[in-house]
Chain A
Amino acid sequence: MVPSEIRQTAVVASKNGLHARPAIQLAELAQRFASSIQIVKDDIAVDGKSVLQVMTLAAENGASLLVVAKGADAQDAASAIVGIIETEDSSAGAEAGASEAGASGA
């Protein structure tokens, strides 16, 4: 079977951007797929399976990213990665709660 290539764009939903935890979650998810997964921001492409590389994108809230998956499970991989990029950071609330009053300003 010829590996397929799927390209999908995603907008970063996390209020604080793709900081450490979302980057870790993204890379962990990417590692579950056989397909290669690249994340492209502007003209920089990184390996979606590398936490460090994903963090170097410093993708802010609202940034548009291109997800390029190549391989037998490319469609599933691309959909999953787009899904996690477009999910609000579940840890943001806990973090604001841990900080003092004023931490939750918009």
Chain B
Amino acid sequence: MKFSEFISLKSIKVNMVSEGKTEAVAELVQGLVDAGSLDDSQKDGIIQAVMNREELGSTGIGRGVAVPHTKHSSVKEIVGTVGVSKGGIDFRSLDGDKVNLFFMLISPPDRPSDHLRALENIAKQLQNETFCSFLKQAKTVEDVVQLLSEADENHFGS
């Protein structure tokens, strides 16, 4: 599943201000609410659901990347966002490193295969060092949009 099929471009954050884990999740969810991708009335429940998942084990998968996610019945199709933190956020990652790059996914409960396809694409693209490091260095939302678009066009190989 290409980024263009699930990333809400208006919700992308390149200068995350959060320092803590819960704060970071809330900032990403707020971005999706502001972009109209999530219902404001569901915000607190979604943040809580993401944090409940994190308590079962961090989605900080190492190399400065985290993929916080949850299912939530308020969404009819999978929505995602990208967040970049210049200073890095302590996300209790597997390797202990701070997280600079977030891919958040909120999926409808009845579509597990879409969630897998989205994760597959994120994981595939992140294996490319160039894509990963350019994203972390992105200064504007347009930079991120451009990189996602190039990835969708297979500019980074696999």
Q: Which chain A residues have a beta carbon within 8 Å of chain B's beta carbons? A: 15-21, 23-25, 28, 51-53, 55-61, 90-91, 94-105
The 4 closest A-B pairs by CB, nearest first: A55-B123, A58-B120, A98-B49, A16-B112
Contact, CB under 8 Å: A15 / B127:
no
Contact, CB under 8 Å: A60 / B61:
no
CB-CB under 8 A for A94 and B52, given A17-B112, A20-B69, A58-B116: yes
Find chain A residues with CB under 8 A from B67 CB.
20
Expressed in whole angstroms, the Cα–Cα distance for A5 and B63 within the complex equals 30
CB-CB under 8 A for A21 and B53, given A96-B109, A99-B73, A103-B71: yes
Expressed in whole angstroms, the Cα–Cα distance for A57 and B119 within the complex equals 10
Expressed in whole angstroms, the Cα–Cα distance for A59 and B119 within the complex equals 11
Interface residues of B in 78-122 (CB under 8 A from A): 94, 109-110, 112-113, 115-117, 119-120, 122
Range of interface residues on B (Cβ < 8 Å): 20 to 34
Contact, CB under 8 Å: B94 / A16:
no
Contact, CB under 8 Å: B109 / A98:
no
Expressed in whole angstroms, the Cα–Cα distance for A25 and B119 within the complex equals 15
Find chain A residues with CB under 8 A from B38 CB.
none
For B49, the closest partner residue in chain A by CB is A98
Contact, CB under 8 Å: B61 / A95:
no
Contact, CB under 8 Å: B73 / A21:
no
Contact, CB under 8 Å: B127 / A17:
no
CB distance from B97 to the nearest CB of A (A): 13
Find chain B residues with CB under 8 A from A104 CB.
109
Contact, CB under 8 Å: A90 / B56:
yes
CB distance from B40 to the nearest CB of A (A): 16
CB distance from B100 to the nearest CB of A (A): 16
Expressed in whole angstroms, the Cα–Cα distance for A32 and B51 within the complex equals 27
